[in-house]
Structure 1
């Protein structure tokens, strides 16, 4: 469902929607005519030709909405307790971008907290897009997180200190958090840059032979529709069909977080495709994916459903090798407990945005939620901070199962607490 923003109206809003698959397009506005001069510039690709910046119609990303409100999965009290554990309370010195990214995509740019030691959504956003704030945390000797690229701004990623851990994870996190494409970005040597500068560089840089395309696919799907193909820096054609095929290909053990991020990204692509097809807009009528690839995506997601239906332990947790199906239960591996947190939290997250046809029995979902709630609340603050990225997915997943978002629920919770204390 595409809604008009309260801040600006769309010039080309999509009408129509599926009753059970709802996506909100918040704050949309046609924008190619107002793209920053930096990202409008023509850039040279590896073959010596020229490629204009990819035209993007909207200034706000798509926002995918959850489908269910099930208090038997998580109660208000349980959700409040879990969210309290995953508030973004990070030290100022050597603040890890990956932790901030996970917190931001969970809480969103509008998140506010009464505790001054907890980062607000705006503070998290600014840490990731303002080189000055990065230097204040890491010092001048650490290479910049934001790097000047040929077409815009690239993100330093990898295992080095002060880097974003995964390719395009920062891009996807900011997009999920609701950043504006016009948001100013402060990088060395890039005057007047905006978030679009990061997005355009990523569109150029993406390659199908990378180990990780999960976050590239997600971020691009939140910005590009109804456009579904473009050209990369080396002159190769890129499309959501190609990205979806790449996400499907390969065994689950090779994917990040036991392959669950691939599943979430595929579910997001499928949701956006269905809304496009039902919108009534001629430009969106063909969907995000071709008919054949869409079938492949749903077949793959159905196979994941079947595997997690038989790989769940009696306590409700899913193991890191959930993709082995019943063998994961019959021949359990000696794995670290946090791997169950990863698998269980991530599966609950994608299931919250999936149609019921792709669900295991609801009782299995409720058992998984009860296990992950207990596992989260048992953690000391120090222990949880060390594994913050994994537990942030738990907070987001549980909020989605109450058909809300963490920041929205927390705002209401804080107001109720304040009112109660004043009585």
Structure 2
């Protein structure tokens, strides 16, 4: 392991990791791909704002309103810096990544918008992939149903990679938007953004990334990536739930129609019409997730203080250790890449003859090991591999090789139970 990375010190920042479960079992939390745990620094930032500074933002002229607005907008600045956005005005707060993806999908084929890039109808095409989370499938299905456009997708190879063999046939002059995961939430695969984007630019389309599994774990710079839209969620990045982020290029946000109507997203309202505030406020109708944004800002401060490069290196070492250790379990098959090339800290697997739900329950009940079981909101991917579900272990900055050892011991025990 990386000797410069003090995981034991980091673990002390996360109160829940010292919790004793019923029966005296220590908690082994290997489910950060689902939702990460929160450090004291985030918990205290949320508590402090709720206790001493809370007021509505952008409306109240009193001290609390001013302090709350300043904290909320400071959080926007922190997000912009964290992902390398050229301007804070390119950061839209949503309630999660799902809402951010839906926001972009809604912009296409909407009569309120006049930009031809967002025109969508019969003959136009949307391209996603077979490995997507439902949040990056269903909004595009709805868009296709609403407009008559055609939904197409990249398939996945047997070793869990995006199949780009038909890239030029899938992404054509009819394509309006390509939206794929930066990193798969099941396979751990990090997708080749550059290669896809080159084709997208060649045909004049737009490109979106679901970065929910990448932004919390490694440096992500939207300017360097060169895509048009990027979404991620706070609760996977050591922050609160109820807060997500859409980054988009400023001129695209200006061209897009608003997604939701209400207070604060307007410039002026008459009984028969309204004009809208500039981005990002045009997309933030109603009272926003104020305290959640403050918590997200604190979480990004925390991750930055540890260092995203160091976190990525630590997770890479954990993943290498896990891939080797899991080979000791008879009948276990990893679903996805079995090496470290272009993959993150997620390992999903099946064990011959044992349902993942049984695996997850025994690991939790008898070993205190928390993993996720099911199709992980990626049912089409599981159908592609001909399996109903997988067991998924996902790693973060606070995990250790000893916890992976506990997982492996638990899996050996599961096998004895079902022998």
Q: More helix per residue: 1 or 2?
A: 1
TM-score of the two chains, using structure 1 as the length reference = 0.26
Instruction: Tell me which structure has the larger Cα radius of gyration.
Output: 2
TM-score of the two chains, using structure 2 as the length reference = 0.26
